[in-house]
């Protein structure tokens, strides 16, 4: 066994552990049993006489070591999930508690910890609770809740607030699993219309304090950028450009969001690894005219990091950026072996920091699968389509789209019970323009921050490109056959993925990389 292969087994073991932890809860005694089992494998393999001193015997002992370690790491994954789960359910204990027909009020102190969305007369923001004051006692906490305030007081990231209200568990509607949607962000309680006292005092650790300061500055930059954008470009194109550039969907009219879903193009509106890969490739393509490939890759890396910071560096964008960088380096240096470990390592780290994303974050799963498609399926398709003409890069974009789509399509069917028939055509028609829209939208926003009239001139170009894309999406969505509904049981979907990944593995085994 190769060293790097062993590492990937360890990481996969951790991921499997987290997966198991997400579905079943284990008591303390089980952990001892699992660790005991792992130690047993260790102990047996450590004894030098086990399996004899032959080459085969030594190999078996090594396998035994690896299995033992995998079991312990999987146990670690289960433990990590349960510990994370418990840490993030202090406020949750007060959810929907009632006394005399009214919710029991809890007072919490903390800070605004994310984008403040202002809609109609309300503002909504994630809030990091540091202290809970209930039943005349103060508990410390580190948990995120969602606050919906009845005003637009212009709250900003990092504002320290004291909030008093009755927390509620999120309620699912028929069509939308709100609880799961919030859970992946670590949110399991909502304060609607609480009393908000602006002042509050909490002491944060050095790390948390400095990250709040940095984020606050980034968020300020982002909101200035956004207001420059909506002041220079007409709607709904401005909202669409915000979606493409910053991943914020809230301003896009619902009708349009539905059109994106029907045509299988919603991924454009969220910053995903796929999305960032396209940007990176475009930047790289331009840079290659002037720089050597390796230098160009480093400049593209810097561009991605800058982009991530400018968009506010939210957890999902950081995840996407990591995925995008992985694809960039894998295609740049062309070492598939490292790419595989890199992607598993990135996935494992992300899951370690927030175990909820593995099962609850559709975006994470889609991103991950799309990146696997780009790294492994794309070269296969490229080999098959070697003879086809490039058509100014159109072939490459079509194949990239196809390889990402093939990987995610079953998962999309599993979640949304529908399958878009126009998806491939629409994606090929609009994806080549996405980097151009992002570029001009970005320049328009930046120049709008400096001098509005300049932003308006460049904004016209961004508007026209966005108009074209929206026109395609709207018209494609209006076809009656744009989307068909099908339901598949999860077991079939899981099996299909096992077959798909097995097939890819088999292909590389027999045809080399």
Partner 1 sequence: MARICLNHHNADLYGKAFPHHYVRRNASHISSMSVRMDTNRDKIIAGIIALVLIVLAFSSSQAAGQKDGLLKIYFLNVGQGDAIFIEAPNGNQVLVDGGPDSAVIAELARVMPFYDRSIDAVVVSHPHSDHIAGLIDVLKHYDVGYVIQAGEQYDSLEFRSWQEAVAQEHTIEIDTVAGKQINLGPEMTFTIIHPLKSVLGTATDKPHDDNVVAMLQYKHVKVLLAGDMEAAVERILVNNNIDIDADVLKVGHHGSKTSTALPFLDAVTPQAAIIQVGVKNRYKHPAELILSRLENFGATLYRTDTDGMIRLISDGTSYYLNKQ
In Å, how far are 119, 168, 254 from 148, measured between CA atoms?
10, 12, 21
Q: Taking CB under 8 A as the rule, does residue 60 contact partner 1?
A: no
Interaction of residue 63 with partner 1, rule CB under 8 A = no
Residue 43 in contact with partner 1, rule: CB under 8 A: no
Tokens for 371, please give them: 């990146």
Which tokens hold the place of 161? 């607030």
Taking residue 306's Cβ as centre, other Cβ atoms within 10 Å add up to 10
Q: Does 299 bind partner 1 (CB under 8 A)?
A: no
Residue 96 vs 150, nearer CB to partner 1: 150
Cis status of the peptide bond prior to 236, with omega within 30 of 0 = yes
| 227 forms part of the interface with partner 1 (CB under 8 A) | yes
Map residues 241-270 to x or -, x wherever contact with partner 1 holds by CB under 8 A. Answer: ----------x-x-----------------
CB of 153 to partner 1, least distance (A): 8
Using the rule CB under 8 A, give the single segment among 194-202, 271-279, 308-316, 462-470 that binds partner 1.
Answer: 462-470
Contact between 394 and 428 (Cβ < 8 Å): yes
Closest separation in Å from C-beta 501 to partner 1: 30
Q: Kindly state the DSSP code that residue 375 receives in the 8-state scheme.
A: I
Work out the angle at residue 241's Cα, subtended by the Cα atoms of residues 236 and 246, and round it to the nearest 5 degrees: 130
The answer to the question of residue 119 lying near partner 1 (CB under 8 A) is yes
CA-CA-CA-CA torsion sign (133, 139, 140, 142)? negative
Stretch that binds partner 1, among 53-61, 119-127, 258-266, 420-428 (CB under 8 A): 119-127
Closest distance to partner 1 from the beta carbon of 195 (Å): 13
143-172: contacts with partner 1 (CB under 8 A): 150-154
Residue labelled with tokens 């709207």: 474
CA distances in angstroms from 485 to 30, 173, 175, 423, 471, listed in the order given: 42, 20, 15, 14, 24
Of the listed pieces 20-28, 45-53, 224-232, 420-428, which binds partner 1 according to CB under 8 A? 224-232
The least CB distance from residue 380 to partner 1, in Å, is: 21
Among 179, 315, 461, 501, binds partner 1 (CB under 8 A): 461
Retrieve residue 199's tokens. Answer: 């002042």
Identify whether the C-beta of residue 236 lies closer than 8 Å to the C-beta of residue 242: no
Q: What share of the chain is helix, strand, coil (3-state, %, to 5)?
A: 65, 10, 25
Residue from 46, 217, 234, 499 touching partner 1 (CB under 8 A): that is: 234
Give the residue with the Cβ less far from partner 1, 171 or 294. Answer: 294
Contact with partner 1 (CB under 8 A): which of 433, 446, 454, 501?
433
231 belongs to the binding site for partner 1 (CB under 8 A): yes
Tell me which of 230, 345, 454, 501 binds partner 1, using CB under 8 A.
Answer: 230
**Which residue from 260, 247, 252, 249 is spatially nearest to 236, judged by alpha carbons?**
252
For residues 272 and 366, the answer to whether their CB atoms sit within 8 Å is: yes
Among 87, 195, 235, 258, binds partner 1 (CB under 8 A): 235
CA atoms of 411 and 492, how far apart (whole Å): 11
CB of 296 to partner 1, least distance (A): 9
Q: Does residue 465 touch partner 1 according to CB under 8 A?
A: yes
Q: In the numeric block, which tokens belong to residue 19?
A: 């997966």
Q: DSSP per residue over 206-262, as a string?
A: HHHHHHHHHHHHHHHHHHHHHHHHHHHS-TTHHHHHHHHHH---TTS-HHHHHHHHH
485 strand-pairing partners: 418
| Cα–Cα distance, 447 to 442 (Å, whole number) | 9
Rule CB under 8 A: choose which of 216, 249, 456, 475 binds partner 1.
Answer: 456
**Least spacing, CB of residue 441 vs partner 1, in Å:** 13
Closer to partner 1 by CB, 48 or 152: give it: 152
Strands 187-192 and 137-149, by their bridges, are parallel
Figure out which of the listed residues 35, 436, 446, 454 binds partner 1, where binding follows CB under 8 A: 436
Q: In a 10 Å sphere around its CB, with 0-12 CB exposed, 13-18 middle and 19+ buried, how is residue 241 labelled?
A: buried
Phi/psi for 111 (5° steps) reads -135, 155
- The 3-state DSSP class for residue 144 equals strand
Q: How many chain residues are in contact with partner 1, going by CB under 8 A?
A: 37
x/- mask, partner 1, residues 356-395, rule CB under 8 A, reads ------------------------------------xx--
Segment interacting with partner 1, rule: CB under 8 A, options 132-140, 259-267, 287-295, 353-361:
287-295
Q: Which CB sits closer to partner 1, 87 or 150?
A: 150
In the list 100, 120, 389, 512, the residue contacting partner 1 (rule: CB under 8 A) is 120
Give the footprint of partner 1 on this chain (CB under 8 A). 119-121, 150-154, 227, 230-232, 234-238, 251, 253, 288-289, 291-294, 392-393, 433, 436, 456, 460-461, 463-465, 467-468
């Amino acid at each position: 066994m190769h060293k790097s292969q062993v590492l990937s087994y360890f990481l996969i073991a951790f991921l499997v552990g987290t997966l198991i932890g997400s579905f079943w809860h284990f008591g303390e005694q089980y952990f001892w049993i699992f660790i005991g089992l792992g130690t047993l494998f260790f102990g047996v393999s450590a004894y030098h006489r086990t399996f004899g001193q032959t080459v085969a015997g030594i190999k078996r002992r090594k396998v035994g070591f690896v299995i033992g370690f995998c079991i312990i790491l999987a146990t670690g994954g289960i433990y990590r999930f349960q510990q994370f789960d418990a840490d993030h359910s202090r406020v949750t204990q007060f959810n929907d508690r009632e006394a005399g027909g009214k919710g029991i009020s809890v007072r919490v102190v903390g800070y605004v910890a994310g984008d403040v969305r202002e809609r109609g007369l309300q503002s909504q923001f994630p809030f990091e609770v540091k202290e809970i004051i209930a039943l005349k006692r103060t508990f410390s906490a580190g948990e995120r809740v969602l606050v919906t305030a009845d005003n637009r007081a212009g709250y900003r990231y990092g504002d320290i607030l004291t909030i008093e209200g009755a927390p509620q568990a999120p309620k699912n509607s028929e069509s939308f699993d709100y609880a799961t949607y919030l859970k992946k962000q670590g949110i399991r309680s909502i304060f609607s219309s609480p009393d908000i006292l602006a002042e509050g005092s909490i002491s944060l650790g050095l790390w948390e304090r400095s990250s709040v300061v940095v984020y606050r500055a980034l968020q300020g930059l982002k909101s200035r950028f956004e207001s420059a954008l909506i002041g220079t470009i007409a709607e709904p194109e401005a909202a669409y450009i915000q979606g493409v550039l910053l991943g914020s969907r809230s301003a896009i009219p619902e009708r349009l969001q539905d059109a994106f879903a029907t045509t299988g193009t919603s991924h454009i509106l969220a910053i995903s690894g796929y999305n960032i890969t396209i940007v990176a490739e475009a930047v790289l393509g331009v840079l290659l005219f002037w720089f050597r490939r390796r230098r160009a890759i480093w400049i593209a890396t810097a561009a991605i990091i800058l982009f991530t910071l400018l968009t506010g560096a939210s957890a999902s964008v950081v995840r996407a950026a990591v995925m995008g960088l992985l694809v960039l380096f894998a295609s740049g240096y062309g070492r598939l072996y490292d790419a595989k470990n890199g992607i598993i390592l990135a996935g494992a780290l992300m899951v370690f920091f927030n175990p909820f994303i593995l099962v609850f974050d559709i975006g994470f799963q889609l991103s991950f699968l799309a990146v696997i498609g780009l790294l492994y399926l794309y070269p296969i398709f490229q080999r098959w389509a070697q003879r086809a003409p490039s058509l100014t890069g159109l072939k490459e974009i079509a194949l990239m789209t196809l390889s990402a789509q093939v990987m995610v399509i079953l998962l999309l069917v599993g979640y949304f019970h529908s399958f878009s028939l126009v998806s491939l055509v629409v994606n090929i028609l609009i994806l080549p323009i996405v980097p151009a829209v992002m570029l001009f939208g970005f320049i328009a926003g930046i120049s709008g921050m400096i001098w509005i009239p300049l932003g308006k001139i460049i904004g016209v170009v961004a508007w026209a490109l966005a108009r074209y894309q929206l026109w395609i999406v709207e018209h494609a969505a209006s076809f009656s056959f744009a989307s068909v509904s099908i339901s598949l049981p999860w077991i079939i979907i899981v099996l299909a993925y096992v077959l798909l990944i097995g097939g890819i593995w088999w292909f590389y085994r027999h045809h080399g990389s």
